[in-house]
Amino acid sequence: MNRQDRADAVDREMAVRLLPEEALTALGHWWAKNKQTCPDGTPQAHAVAYTPARWAPTTPWPAGLASTSHAGDAHISRAEVTAMVADALQREAFREALVATYVWGKGKSGTPGGSGPFTLQKILAAENLLDEALAASVTALRDQGAVDAYTVLHKAVPQFGPSFFTKFLYFAGQALPAVPGPQPLILDRVLSLRLRPLAVAVGRESGLDPDGTVAAWVWAEWDWTPHRYSVYLSFMHAATRQLAGTKAWQPGAAPDLLEYALFSGAWTATG
């Protein structure tokens, strides 16, 4: 059995086992503490702080973001980003949608000349390459679904990696009236590293990956393949259905609530 075969086997085993009991318990405790801020079973009220002045060179700047002349910090919620993206997509202002999702994703870590604004400037400088990729990804998302849209953006634009283009796809999926297949979710380094020790534990217990090297390969810290994104979406949506069967989780909660909970550190597998 080669490495890919072993990885596929671990994925299948994870799909059967899903979240262990300790994860269900921890997520239930997290929900009990956070249900007041997510009353509708989604993380749309989840807001991040950002410093508008640090993004001063960025254009186009969405009207829904605080002016870059604003003194101090501002806050932006997922719901507000979704509204901005919906408006931008209606006008085919794909760069505006990207900027809104990128600023939300970076939050206060975007410092003058730092990785946030500087990298975004390099992405925006791709001009036609970026415009075509964003437009094509939205079309793919609307017509074929999240994995096809991910495939369009994967390695399409220099500096624009999955940690941030999945944020663009996530908010586009929230903004569009309907998306075929599973809703897109954010996949970044934090979430990948949440699932890696779970894969390590499954691989060790099943004998498919005794030393955890396969888990470390597939749940790397960046540049996940479209196949890995498909596996991630399948697992997260199935785990959401698993949680729905417990009394400790919000009935009918959306899969992005689980994404938010895991990102927030509600539970970390020990692997």
Domain ranges of the chain: 3-34+188-263, 47-175
pLDDT band at 113 (very low <50, low <70, confident <90, very high): very low
Residue 75 pairs in a beta bridge with: 49
Quick one: how far is CA 24 from the chain centroid? 21
Amino acid present at 12: R
Closest CA to 192 of 171, 172, 221, 166: 221
Please give the mean pLDDT across all residues of the chain.
Answer: 95
Give the mean model confidence (pLDDT) for residues 221-243.
Answer: 97
pLDDT in tens, 123-167: 999 989 999 999 999 999 999 999 999 999 999 999 999 999 999
pTM equals 0.96
User: Given this model, what pLDDT does residue 271 score?
Assistant: 59
Q: Residue 107 class from Cβ within 10 Å (0-12 exposed, 13-18 middle, 19+ buried)?
A: middle
User: Given this model, what pLDDT does residue 255 score?
Assistant: 97
d(CA 191, CA 42): 17
pLDDT in tens, 173-202: 999 999 999 999 999 999 999 999 999 999
Q: Is the pLDDT of residue 270 over 80?
A: no
d(CA 119, CA 125): 10
Element (H, E) at 47: strand 47-50
pLDDT in tens, 3-32: 999 999 999 999 999 999 999 999 999 999
pLDDT band at 115 (very low <50, low <70, confident <90, very high): low
